[in-house]
Every structure is written in C-alpha cells, then in structure tokens.
Chain A
Amino acid sequence: MSHEVHARLEGVTRVYPAVAGNPPVHALGPIDLDLRKGEFFSIVGPSGCGKSTCMDVLAGLAAPTEGNVWFEDKRVHGNVPDGIGAVFQEDASFPWLTVEDNAAFGLRRAGVDAAEIRRRVDYALGFVGLKDFAKAYPAQLSGGMRQRVCIARTLVLQPRLILLDEPFGALDAQTRLLMGDELLKLWRETGATVLLITHALDEAAMLSDRIGAMSARPGRFLETVETGWSRDRDSRMLEGETFGHITGRLWQMLRSESQRAMGHEGGVA
C-alpha cells in the first residue's frame, strides 16, 4: 500500500438546514481525513454520528457546508466524480431487472459495447458468486445475495475508490464474516481504495488497514487506529490475540461516545 493520498477531506463540516420549524442539524465535523491509495479504511462510530454523511460528502452526493473534498487531486463539491463506486446499506437492487441486467445497468448507461459488458458482467457475477443466478430476479434471492448484486453492479464499473455504507448491516453474523472475506478478495484483486462505514467494531477490525473512530454527533475523528494486518488476510484472524486488542481499543474509545449518542451524558462506570 502506498502513502499517496487518493482522497482527502479538509476541514469538512456538514450542517443540515432547518426544516419545518426544526433547528439546523450539525451532523459532521469539522473533520480531516487522508485516504491512502489502495488502502482499506473503515469508519466506526455510534448511531447517528454522521458516518453516512461523511460518505455522501466524499462521494459527491452531498456538498460540505464548510471545507473541501478532493479525489485524485480534483475537487468534489456535490458532484459525483468518475472513478467512485458506492454500495449502500439499503437494498438498492432493481427488482424489475434480472441479476445480470442489474449488474450491467451502469455499463449500458455509459454506452460500453455489448461484448465488453458481457465480459465484465460475467466476471463480476462469478466474483460475487451469482453466476448461477444471472437470470433470476432480486425477489428470488436472499438479502445477502441482493447485496452482492449491488456489489457486482458497482464492481463492473471498475471504480478506483469503493465506498461501502454498512453493506452487510442486514446480514447474520456468519454471513457477514463470509462476505467480509469476499470483500477482502475484491479489494486485493481490484487494487481499489475502499472506505467502509460500519457500526460493527469486529468487522472494521478484521477488514481494515486503518480505522477511524468517530465521536457522537457532530462526528469528529477521535483517533485513527492502524491494524498492521498483511494484505493477504481473511476472517481466520478472528482467532488471533491482536484482533481482540484492536476491537477492545476501539470499544474503549467509543463506549462513552455511544452512551452520549444514546442520551446517557454522564456515562456509566
């Protein structure tokens, strides 16, 4: 992994304007973040701390209220740049399209020729283990498989920065671990930079090179933890002692923040 900066957040703040008599919501920041090219970075934090807002700002889906966002040395300001792909927490597969048509959706919009679409879709579906379900509709698949359809749809576009907003949030623990392995395989094979938003500390500890722990709203980075894992890792690291140390350290940082987010300001001894 190089230390070349792939994407940068500089003093980014996001305030949602007042709506229908409710006051403005200061959701995020100010935060600074350098995403290194080819790294796997996770953001953890209590519910509602602005993790998803952070991803939206980086993707160009929302403009920062203050500060600047850069991707490959170009400013991002509420416009989605080329080279960024995103998978969201919610099921975003298109139920009226088959699995292969879902995967090909972005390529068809981009006017890629049919043979290239076929090649990339075949590869992506094989990669996410859905080749046998190419002609199925999302309604015929499980939640995890539908999420893999969305991953395939993003993967075919060959993004250089992949943003994942709690993509395994709806899955059971065992499936999450297996999907985590798949994600690591994807990251290794594509060489893309990955930013994962998650509330699961173990998921972040297992997958990431670095983990940014965020405070309760308005989200700010409390600390960035370097895991020191080799690139060739998988879920078997859960058995190791280091894994427990990293998770423990993250929880130490986030416990009082989570209590604050739940409204227990004083904390519990």
Chain B
Amino acid sequence: MNRLTLIRLGVIVAFFGLLEILCRTGVISPFTMIPPSEMAIELWALIVSGEVARGMRQTLGNVAVACILAITVGFAVGAGVHALPRLRRALDPFLTTYYAVPFFVFYPLLVFIFGMNNFPMIMIGFLFAVVAMIINTLNGLDKIPRVYRKVARMHHMGRAKTALLIELPYAIPNLFTGVKLAVAYSFIGVIAAEFILAPGGLGYAISFAYDNFDNETMYALMLFILVLVTIINMSLHAYEQRLLRRQGR
C-alpha cells in the first residue's frame, strides 16, 4: 500500500471517526443522524434479514441495464458521429449543453410511455449516462494520431481492421473513462428516479424510511450506497489510471 492510499484511507477514517464522536457526544442530535457504527450494525442486520435484498437486486439490476445500454449506445453513437464531421458540427452544441437539461421533468412522460415499472428508472439512468459515453468516445477517437492510419495502410489493413486493431486499442483509456462515468451517472439517475415515484428499489426504501422517521434504516441504506458506489468507482478509477500509465498518458 503506497503513501497516497494510506493518506486517503486516513482521511476516510478521520471523517467517520469525527462523525462518530460528534454523534456520540450529542453535538449532532440522534434525530438528525445516528453514529456511523450504528449505521454499519443496522446495515448488517438488514442484509442478514434479507429485508432489503429485493430492493438491492432491483436497483442494481436497473443500474446494470441502464449502464450497459448507455455504454453500448454511447459508443455506437460516438463512433458514428466521429465518422460524420458535418453531423458532429451540428450536434456539438447539444452535446455540450446536454447536462443542463433536468431529465427528471421527463419522468411523467416516461411513466406514460413505459408504465409504472422499471423502465422509467432505467431510462433516466440511461439518459444521464449516455452522453458521458458519447463525449468520451469522441475524445478517444479524436486523439488517435494520424500517423497510425499511415502505418495501417503500410500493413495493408482495411478500414475495419484499422478500427479494430489500432484505433480501438488506442482509444480504450478514454473509452474506459466513459464507462467509469456511465456507471456513476447510471447510479445517480436510477436511485434519484426511485426516490421520486418508484414502487421499489433502494432509492424508494430510503425515501420510505425518511417519511417514516426510520433513521436507522435510512442511514444504513445510505451507507450501503455510499460504500458500494465508492468501491466501484475507485476500482474503475484505479484500472483507468493503469491503462493511462501503460500508454504513457
């Protein structure tokens, strides 16, 4: 474990330690927040009892579907737009201002189209994530040195082989940044959508606990989401850094 990792761990431990002290000494009222140790105990109890298993499955399933859709569609659209410079010039303003759009206003429309099921949540997660993937696909493809196309031609490679064997491997670190963001945005989109109107899922469970003054469950589930998303993102970030280092970027 290197020094930087130790510092990071130290910051996390110090933060939770401070929170624990503030909660235990009553500086933070128990009606506002329970101590982190109690959150962890409650979370373990919830997991063991199987009470939230269905909600977890539902949320993680929705996130996975939204994420896979966003990565697949984002890559395909990014590659397509990159190949058509005129279309790209036309779309550029929409892509750069995309995240100014509050997607949740479309929730009623999505419920109207797809019904009261998982699809509106998946769509919100997808809408959140897809443009991050498109933008990073475009970035990755933009950075491919032009000399590689000459090298490919010197090796008698056609368009498809050049794309598969040279352009794609070169662009992978940028594509992976897109994947990393797509995962994060899918979580945000799906869980936030579950908060609003969903009949199930972790977002709904947190919202339900909040409405019923069930601080233990609410904070335990918040801790679960926080830990899960942090672990996933840190793992993806570490792998992304490894890819970038290998390519000397």
Contact = CB atoms under 8 A, between A and B. Distances in A.
A92 B147 contact: yes
A219 interface: no
A95 B248 contact: yes
Pick the most buried of A56, A59, A96, A138: most chain B CB atoms within 10 A of its CB.
Answer: A96
Contact of B170 (A82, A96, A154): A96
A92 B155 contact: no
A94 B169 contact: yes
Interface size of A as a range: 20 to 34
B169 A85 contact: no
Contact of B245 (A61, A86, A94, A139): A139
B93 interface: no
Given A92-B147, A96-B170, A138 B153 contact: no
A94 B150 contact: no
Contacts of A94: 148, 166, 169-170
Contacts of A85: 154
B147 A84 contact: no
Interface string A15-58: 00000000000000000000000000000000000000000100
B172 interface: yes
A109 B170 contact: no
A86 B247 contact: no
A127 interface: no
Interface string B150-174: 1101111100010001100110100
B102 interface: no
Chain B, interface size category, equals 20 to 34
Chain B contact residues, majority secondary structure: helix
Interface in A79-121: 80, 82, 84-86, 88, 90-92, 94-97, 105-106, 109
Given A88-B147, A90-B145, A90-B147, A96 B154 contact: no
Given A80-B156, A90-B145, A109-B157, A96 B247 contact: yes
Contacts of A133: none
Contacts of A59: 154
Contact of A88 (B150, B165, B245, B249): B150
B155 A106 contact: yes
Contact of B148 (A92, A109, A137, A138): A92
A106 B165 CA distance: 11
Given A56-B150, A88-B147, 9 more contacts: A60-B153, A61-B150, A61-B154, A80-B153, A85-B154, A86-B150, A88-B150, A88-B151, A95-B248
22 contacts: A56-B150, A61-B150, A85-B154, A90-B145, A91-B145, A91-B147, A92-B148, A94-B148, A94-B166, A95-B246, A95-B247, A95-B248, A96-B172, A96-B246, A105-B155, A109-B155, A109-B156, A109-B157, A109-B161, A138-B248, A139-B247, A139-B248
Interface of A: 56, 59-61, 80, 82, 84-86, 88, 90-92, 94-97, 105-106, 109, 137-140, 154
